[in-house]
Amino acid sequence: MTRNVLVIGLGLIGGSIALSCQKAPNTKIYGFDLYEKTRQQARELSIVHEVVDDVLQAASIADVIIFGTPVNATLDWLEKMKEWPLKDNVIVTDTGSTKGLIMQKGKELSEKGIAFIGGHPMAGSHKSGVQAAKTHLFENAYYILTPLEHEKEERIKELEDLLKFTLAKIVRIDASKHDHMTAVVSHFPHIVAASLVHQLDSEQQSYPMTSMLAAGGFRDVTRIASSNPLMWKDIVLQNREELLNQLNSWQDEMNRVKSILLSSEEETIEQYFAAAKEVRDKLPINTGAFYTTYDLYVDIPDYPGVISEVTGYLAEEQISITNLRVVEAREDVFGILVISFQNADDRENAQKCLSKRAKYELYMS
């Protein structure tokens, strides 16, 4: 018996899930997107087995419906779904990065007999859109499920059985705990990064050269400030209460730092950074929320053609890179050339490749 899966929203996330689920046996993947151009691209790229233009007809035969849409759009879809002709045993899930409002709507669906299981695949890319979709996007990343309290175990298991083909680490977490933890490690850091960039911008009025020196640590710390502003507007509004709590905690921490600086006690200041270093060094390097870069710093000599030489070595061993940049202000970094990779294995292979050349000094962050 064939299992029918409908993916609504064929961007990076929805498209990647669709590609992964094509590996599931006895499963047919249908796909729908509001934009005709995206539907056409999905057809050309074989993102799904069949792209549909009639979402209601496809939903009526679906055993599983996955929303790969932004949270606000998903909320609208879920409201409309209340009137859709669906199978009695259909399972509905989403991919949103905040779960509070989604689960409220999911509870309303549950009261109508529709099994809704919240979902959040914690991976992404510096690229977006259906053309960036990859079968392995979620491999080894956390895929969080937030089922309602009284959801039937067999329904959750059925969804997990499908999602295991993403090769992600599937875990179950209470929705409120999810929103708190993602506020700490993802949402709030985006606010901090944006605030640092705003502070840099204001400094340029008096010190125009400031931005020219904003490389190394500053660029790395604020990289996430380049994320989609519309998406982050929605996330901040949807997780507002948790973020306000984090802001209050941050202000308390900054007051503590201010007190430490005012004290001028060298040992206390050193201990503050030492404690932070100890915690930071223990963080896992191969998991996390949203897009994670795997950077390799290469201390290269300065002569014409050296960058093409380095990338040539990597090309010889078929190691792909996602980004490449030259650092000019090097006070707090360990190499002038920063090469970013899709995953930890590629970075490790690159390190081995370049380590064979004695003239390169390498450092992974």
CATH of the domain at 68: 3.40.50.720
**pLDDT value of residue 322:** 85
Average pLDDT over residues 24-48: 97
Tokens standing for residue 26: 């006895």
Task: Give the end of a domain, one of 141, 173, 205.
Answer: 173
- Whether the CA torsion 331, 247, 273, 337 is positive or negative: it is negative
Instruction: Write out pLDDT tens, residues 287-322.
Output: 554 455 688 888 777 678 888 999 999 999 999 998
**pLDDT value of residue 310:** 92
Average pLDDT over residues 214-221: 76
Which range, 15-24, 129-138, 321-330, 335-344, has the best average confidence (pLDDT)? 15-24
Work out the percent of the chain whose per-residue pLDDT is above 70.
92
Confidence band, pLDDT 50/70/90 cuts, at residue 130: very high
**pLDDT value of residue 216:** 67
Tell me: do 130 and 243 sit in the same domain. Answer: no
Tell me: do 9 and 102 sit in the same domain. Answer: yes
Comparison of pLDDT for 328 and 253, the residue scoring more: 253
Tell me: do 54 and 203 sit in the same domain. Answer: no
Average pLDDT over residues 43-55: 97
Tell me: do 136 and 25 sit in the same domain. Answer: yes
Average pLDDT over residues 239-247: 95
**pLDDT value of residue 212:** 79
Judge whether 248 lies within some domain. yes
Tell me: do 92 and 221 sit in the same domain. Answer: no
For residue 24, which of 63, 78, 74 has the smallest C-alpha distance?
63
**pLDDT value of residue 18:** 98
Confidence band, pLDDT 50/70/90 cuts, at residue 13: very high
Tell me: do 214 and 105 sit in the same domain. Answer: no
Tell me: do 207 and 318 sit in the same domain. Answer: no
DSSP type of residue 84: S
Instruction: Flag whether pLDDT at 116 surpasses 90.
Output: yes
- Least trusted range by pLDDT, from 217-231, 232-246, 282-296: 282-296
Average pLDDT over residues 90-100: 96
Total Cβ atoms within 10 A of residue 226: 11
In degrees, rounded to 5, the angle at the alpha carbon of residue 80 between the alpha carbons of residues 77 and 83 is 145
Instruction: Write out pLDDT tens, residues 155-169.
Output: 999 999 999 999 999
Instruction: Flag whether pLDDT at 105 surpasses 60.
Output: yes
Instruction: Flag whether pLDDT at 144 surpasses 90.
Output: yes
State how far the Cα of 34 lies from the Cα of 55, in Å rounded to an integer. 9
Average pLDDT over residues 20-24: 97
Domain holding 253: CATH number? 1.10.3660.10
Instruction: Flag whether pLDDT at 330 surpasses 50.
Output: no
Domain holding 318: CATH number? 3.30.70.260
Instruction: Write out pLDDT tens, residues 339-363.
Output: 988 888 899 999 999 988 766 777 7
Residues 102 and 70 sit within 8 Å (Cβ to Cβ): no
Comparison of pLDDT for 294 and 143, the residue scoring more: 143
DSSP type of residue 171: E
Average pLDDT over residues 272-296: 76
Judge whether 359 lies within some domain. yes
State how far the Cα of 219 lies from the Cα of 224, in Å rounded to an integer. 9
State how far the Cα of 188 lies from the Cα of 153, in Å rounded to an integer. 33
Q: Chain-centre distance of CA 41, in angstroms?
A: 23
Question: Average pLDDT, whole number, for the chain?
Answer: 90
In the chain, how many domains are there? 3
Give the range of the structural domain holding residue 112, as residue numbers without chain letter.
3-173
State how far the Cα of 340 lies from the Cα of 320, in Å rounded to an integer. 9
Tell me: do 25 and 168 sit in the same domain. Answer: yes
